[in-house]
Structure 1
Amino acid sequence: MKELSGKKLAAEIKAWCVDEVKKLKAETGSSPHLLVMQYGEDAASKAYTNRIAKNCEKIGIEFEYQQFKDDPDAFLAKLKSANQDPEITSIMVQQPLPDELKDSLEMINPKKDIEGITSASLGKLFAGYETLVPCTAEACMEILDYYEIPLKGQRAVVVGRSNIVGKPVSILLQQRHATVTMCHSRTRDLKAELQNADIVVAAVGRPKLITAEMLNEDSIVIDVGTNFVDGKLIGDVDFDSAAEKVKMITPVPGGVGTVTNQVLMRNIVKSFKNLH
């Protein structure tokens, strides 16, 4: 078994971002500027925001954080003004959001939509146009390319159908001429689907859903899962058993998530370039 670590790849993307930000600042006199907006006090979202802030600082990206409590009108007003503000080149709205604000994600200027989550961004992706791609889906493809894993004609099974991972990664794989089957937590015979797969992308959000007996010995497994069980981060695949059987597998942590963090930074740089 070969472990598909994301650490070296993430370091390379980070180095590219650092160099690119320096060049952009020299050329334009300004740097990419990220606004992160949070409504409420979700602790996990705040912790994630703190990690983003640290990554931005290391790369030279300007970081701004605004938290709102019990004032949806102020939240919407800030989002509208940020869309129009030329100094703010990237916008990220943290989730979860209350029901009355869930549609606010659609308000994000697509050119500043660094997570690729608006219908405008997703529509461009599905239609084959260049756009900012959801970071985790892009990270999966980056890992496959980094380890020179061929995709053309390969049977890929994507487990998960979310708009931020499952659906976009299935489109990206199809664009690279893989034959894609989409499964999910309610697929009738998941084992039968997985045993025929050359490539498995596990992104269903259920810890250790996929076990070694469900996989074949030539499988290449990309585990997107980030599940906390008893204080430990584990994936959607039972890593210990699967690693003894499959051809290649990403670890959790140290795999897709590590790369995703830097793909987000790269999207911030790209959004700046799109606006200048």
Structure 2
Amino acid sequence: MQELNGKPVAAKIKAAVQAELQQIKKTLSKQPNLLVLQYGNDQASKTYANRIEKNCQEVGINFSYEQFNKNPDGFKQRIRTANLDPEISAIMIQQPLTDNLKNSLELISPSKDVEGITSASLGKLFTGLSGLKPCTAEACLEIINYYGIKVTGKKAAVIGRSNIVGKPIAMLLQQADATVTICHSKTKNLAAEIKAAEIIIAAAGKAALITAEMLSSNSIVIDVGTNFVQGKLVGDVDYLNASRKVSKITPVPGGVGTVTNQVLMRNIVKAFKNINLNNK
């Protein structure tokens, strides 16, 4: 079994981002500025924002964070003003959001949508146009490419159909000439679908959903799951037993999530360049 560790993949992306930022500093007198907006007091969201801030500091991206409570109209208005602010080149909205604010994601300007989650960004992905792509989906492909895994002609099963991970990674794999099956909670005989696939992307959000019995010895498993069980972060795959059987597998933690963090940094730089350099 080969462990597909995300740390060297992330380090490679981080180094490229830092080099690109150094080049930008020679051309422009400013640097990327990320605005993170949060509505409510969800502590997990705040912790994630702190991690993003640390990553921004390490590569040289300006970071600002604003939190709103009991003011949905003010929250939406802040997104609109951020879209128009030339000093802000990237916008992120922390989730979860209250029901009355879920559509506020659509207010983000596509040029500043560094998570690639608006319908405009996803539309470009699904039609094969250049744009900002969902970070986790791109991170999966970065790991696959880094470890030299051939995708062309392979059968792939994506477990999960979210707009942030499942559907985007299915599209990226399809564009790389894999034959993709998207599985979900209503899929009949999930085990058979997984067993038939050579590449499995586990993105259902359910701990240990995929067991070793569902996998074969030639399975390549990319585990996107982030589940907390008794205070411990685990994936969607029963790693302990699956790793004894499969050909290749990502760990949790230390796999996709590690790479996702640096893909986000790359997207922030890409958005900044599109706004300040490519449009001139």
Q: Tell me which residue corresponds to 2:181.
A: 181
Give ranges in structure 1 of 5+ residues lacking alignment: none
- Tell me the equivalent position of 1:91: 91
Residue by residue over 1:121-153, the C-alpha shift from the partner in whole angstroms, topping out at 9 and shown as x without a partner, is: 000000000111100000000000000100110
Name the TM-score, length of structure 2 as normaliser: 0.98
Deviates more, 1:110-119 or 1:92-101: 92-101
Q: How far is the alpha carbon of 1:18 from its aligned partner?
A: 1.1
Distance of 1:140 and 1:217 partners within structure 2: 20
Query: Partner of 2:57 in structure 1?
Result: 57
- Tell me how far apart the structure 1 counterparts of residues 21 and 43 of structure 2 sit (CA, whole Å): 30
Q: Which runs of 4+ in 1 moved over 3 A?
A: none
In 2: Cα distance, 1:68 partner to 1:117 partner: 21
- Hey, what's the Cα distance between the residues in 2 that align with 1:101 and 1:206? 25
C-alpha separation in 2, matches of 1:266 and 1:16: 8
SS in 1 for 2:86: coil
- Residue 37 of structure 1 aligns to a residue whose secondary structure is strand
Partner of 1:199: 199
Query: What displacement does 1:34 show?
Result: 0.1
Partner of 2:132: 132
Write out per-residue CA displacement over residues 153-195 of structure 1, whole angstroms, 9 at most, x where no aligned residue.
0000000000000000000000010000010123120111011
1:74 aligns with 2:111: no
> How far is 1:22 from its partner?
1.6
Matched with 1:246 is: 246
Residue 18 of structure 1: aligned partner: 18
Aligned length: 276
List aligned pairs for 1:1-276, cutoff 5 A: 1-276=1-276
Which piece of structure 1 moves more, 98-107 or 115-124? 98-107
Amino acid at match of 1:213: E
After superposing the two structures, state which structure 1 stretch, 181-190 or 197-206, moved more.
181-190
Q: SS at the partner of 1:195?
A: helix
Identical-pair percentage: 62
Q: SS where residue 188 of structure 2 aligns?
A: coil
Structure 2 unaligned regions, length at least 5 = none
Question: Match of 1:157, SS?
Answer: strand
Residue 96 of structure 1 and its aligned partner are, at CA, apart by 1.1
Measured in 2, the distance between the counterparts of 1:208 and 1:98 equals 29
**Equivalent residue of 1:21, what SS?**
helix
Aligned-CA RMSD value = 0.6
Q: Distance in 2 between matches of 1:255 and 1:85?
A: 35
Q: Tell me the CA shift for residue 78 of structure 1.
A: 1.0
Report the 3-state secondary structure (helix = DSSP H, G, I; strand = E; otherwise coil) of the residue aligned with 1:245.
coil
Deviations 1:177-218 (A, max 9, x none): 000001012312011101111100000000000001001110
Q: 1-side partners of 2:94 and 2:256: how far apart?
A: 20
Describe the SS at the equivalent of 2:196. Answer: coil
1:16 CA drift (Å): 1.1
Residue type of the alignment partner of 2:228: F
Shift of residue 40 of structure 1?
0.5
Q: Match of 1:186, as an amino acid?
A: K
SS in 2 for 1:254: coil
- Distance, in Å, in 2 between the alignment partners of 1:231 and 1:17 is 33
1:95 CA drift (Å): 0.8
